[in-house]
Chains A and B, each alone.
Chain A
Amino acid sequence: MTVAASTSESKPKPVKAVKVKGESKHLYVSFGLLVVVLVMWEVLPGMLDVPRYIIPTLSDCLAELKNMYAFDKLLSHTASTAIFTILGFVIGSALGAAIGYLLGMSPFWEKVVSPYILALQIAPKVAFAPLFIMWFGYNSMPKLLVTVLIVFFPVLVNVLQAMRTVDRDLVNLARAYSLTRWQIFVKIEMPSTLPNLMAGLRIASTLAVIGVTVGELVGGNVGLGYLISYGGGQANAAMVFNAIGILTVIGCVLYMVLERIEARALHYLPKDSH
């Protein structure tokens, strides 16, 4: 294998092939980087004598993953976290968008509530988790609420910002064509603000995972956040690593789905502008 690789490298032909695929060159490098990191992860802790309860190696983590699957109901924890991430994301962004559009249509109420929105936006939403547990008990309500709360603001703020910057001339054109207020909203304002809405949703999707995780860390006995605090209590670093890894995957999947939807919905934008 190595021999074949080195001989082919000395020939000019593969170089040409690399040139043709120049656009995807960064993909190869990214992948190469991943391999390097994984290999270092596997060998460095042993070489430096770091104990496995501090930094478990890749193979430790994979072995633990098997254990978690067999003995710790990994699948049902993962499913619970994924479902509440999506549920919290959907409810939070629907509320954020709805209120953003309502306030966007009423400059008066926007002025009335905008200082409070700013304050709430700055307040650390995850810190509400213990309160929610006091109010609703050790069930899934607190983590859902934290997620809704954390998702709500970026969507609201993005929609509101976009509503303020809708082209006045477009609205005037619609008015000159005798469109009703509702028609102006549906035909001009909604589509004009769609790129900002989608950007808000993308930010929100990454926050949704954080909201659920914190909710699960603080209370309850389901979900990957719970496995993190459980693993931490048992000095089982591999379990914590694995839970973090799966949470990241959930977040990435949600983000990628949104990117797909966005590419579809915003197909009319020239390719280089987004």
Chain B
Amino acid sequence: MALEFKHVTKQFQSNSGEMLTAVKDVDFRVEKGEFVSVVGPSGCGKSTILSMTAGLYQPSIGEVSVSGERVDGPNPHVGFMLQKDLLLPWRDIISNVEFGLESRGLNRAARRAKAMEVLNACHLGGFEQHYPYQLSGGMRQRAALARTLAIDPEIILLDEPFSALDAQTKLLLQNSFSKVIAEQQKTTLLITHDLAEAVLMSDRILVLSERPGTVIAEIKVDLPHRDEPLKRRNLPEVSEYAAQLFSYLKLEEKAF
């Protein structure tokens, strides 16, 4: 088992002093090599789930464990990336990819070699000397994925990584991410509010309720081509899955 949430509740002290429950009794498992998406309305605690997995803060109640180990702080088993690429603008791409390796006691040459390897895997060979501002949004996100993969995490967390991209770039990037993740056999937790994206990329989808977020449905996506969303996209079942998600999120009721 790669990731486990055991009855996790997280409360925050809001600015006005009262307690705000972001997620409530969240309980799920992700198996090794699995690709799981979490969908839910905005503000329902998706990013909170990610932050607790990364060890940036602890659950108020319950326990999060990665590879059987309780998460009690930042740890080397987890890599995450956000909608923002978080590339350091003052570093060239290869140094950005090395960033996560710098606290790992590797020497410079070993870091370079590892960074080069993942850059090539992410099809960014030849761009290692470029600075972030010289790359397109899609390439920057690929560089961010390379940085995430460089530390060889057991699980990677993606928090809406495609939501700032235009529709075409998004499709291409979903495809390239899926390929790389499948090749490297990484366990992945994708947070998204794009229902089609969840269907195209995942083995399984967790649906969260409105805040306080809790898992209200779990959908197994029984479709081929998990490593190639562009192919999966052409399957007729995709829209059925999306419609199912749509109804779980009670979106009809909210439409006007």
Contacts and interface: CB of A to CB of B under 8 A. Distances in A.
Contact of A169 (B86, B89, B99): B86
A15 B86 CA distance: 49
B74 A175 contact: yes
A24 B32 CA distance: 63
Interface residues of A, number: 19
Nearest to B83: A169
Nearest to A190: B90
Interface in A34-61: none
A177 B151 contact: yes
Given A178-B74, A178-B75, A178-B103, A191 B90 contact: yes
A172 B133 contact: no
Nearest to B157: A176
Interface in B135-157: 151
Nearest to B133: A270
B216 interface: no
A176 B54 contact: yes
Interface residues of B, number: 25
A188 B74 contact: no
A170 B133 contact: no
Contacts of A268: 89-91, 131-133
Nearest to A273: B133
A173 B157 CA distance: 12
A117 interface: no
B212 interface: no
B48 to A, nearest CB: 13
Contact of B102 (A167, A176, A179): A179
Contacts of B79: 176
Contacts of B103: 177-180, 183
Nearest to B81: A173
Interface in B187-237: none
A169 B82 contact: yes
- Most interface-central of B56, B75, B88, B91 (chain A CB within 10 A): B88
A269 interface: yes
A167 B85 CA distance: 12
A172 B86 CA distance: 10
Given A169-B82, A169-B84, A176-B55, A269 B74 contact: no
B33 interface: no
Interface of B: 51, 54-56, 74-76, 78-80, 82, 84, 86, 88-91, 99-100, 102-103, 131-133, 151
